[in-house]
């Protein structure tokens, strides 16, 4: 029985070694592409429009539908009702996950200020968290239209003036 096992093992080794001599190789084309950075370009600024404020103060907010609303003792005026910021992001391929992060800021007029919490409304109105981010799949074109909104806190008896500031917006894939 030991001779039979030895004979089978030796035949198996000879078969494997003999098979290796019949192998062939072929080159395989290979490539890689390093993609440049994603870019963000402002198309329209975030504008909270014109409003008045009473003794209690309040907030102005853009929701996921890009609709402006006021709360508390704030009254929006009919002339300039503002609008969400619109940004173009370019550089991501189709269906690539893109994350847009927005941080808050303070709007100032002289020595007076109002805090602003930014939020990403996304290209399809997908609301992100305040001072947070939104993630979406890039569309099939080279540019995604991203909307940025926010919540502006207006103090009690906020002094009149034109208040300005900047939100920091970062896009990554």
Domain residue spans of the chain: 37-172
For residues 92 and 28, what is the distance between their CA atoms, to the nearest angstrom? 28
Give one DSSP letter per residue of 66-96, joined into a string. Answer: --EEEEEEEEE-SS---B-EEEEEESPPTT-
pLDDT interval class at 164 (50, 70, 90): very high
pLDDT digits (tens, 9 = 90+) for 5-62: 444 444 444 444 445 567 888 999 999 877 778 888 899 999 999 999 999 999 999 8
Parallel, antiparallel or unpaired: strands 169-172 and 39-44: unpaired
**pTM for this model (two decimals):** 0.75
Mean pLDDT of 105-130: 81
Q: What is the CATH number of domain 37-172?
A: 2.60.40
């Amino acid at each position: 029985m030991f001779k039979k096992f030895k004979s089978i093992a030796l035949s198996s080794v000879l078969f494997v070694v003999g098979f290796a001599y019949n192998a062939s190789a072929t080159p395989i084309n290979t490539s890689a592409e390093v993609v440049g950075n994603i870019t963000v370009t402002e198309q329209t600024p975030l504008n909270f429009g014109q409003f008045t404020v009473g003794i209690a103060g309040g907030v102005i907010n853009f929701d996921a539908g890009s609709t402006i609303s006021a709360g508390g003792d704030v009254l929006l005026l009919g002339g300039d009702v503002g609008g969400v910021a619109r940004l173009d992001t370019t550089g991501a391929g189709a269906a690539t996950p893109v994350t847009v992060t927005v941080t808050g800021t303070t709007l100032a007029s002289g020595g007076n200020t109002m805090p602003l919490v930014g939020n990403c409304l996304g290209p399809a109105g997908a609301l992100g968290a305040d001072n947070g981010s939104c993630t979406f799949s890039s569309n099939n074109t080279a540019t995604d239209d991203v909307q940025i909104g926010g919540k502006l806190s207006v103090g009690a008896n906020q002094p009149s003036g034109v208040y300005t500031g900047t939100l920091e917006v970062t896009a990554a894939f």
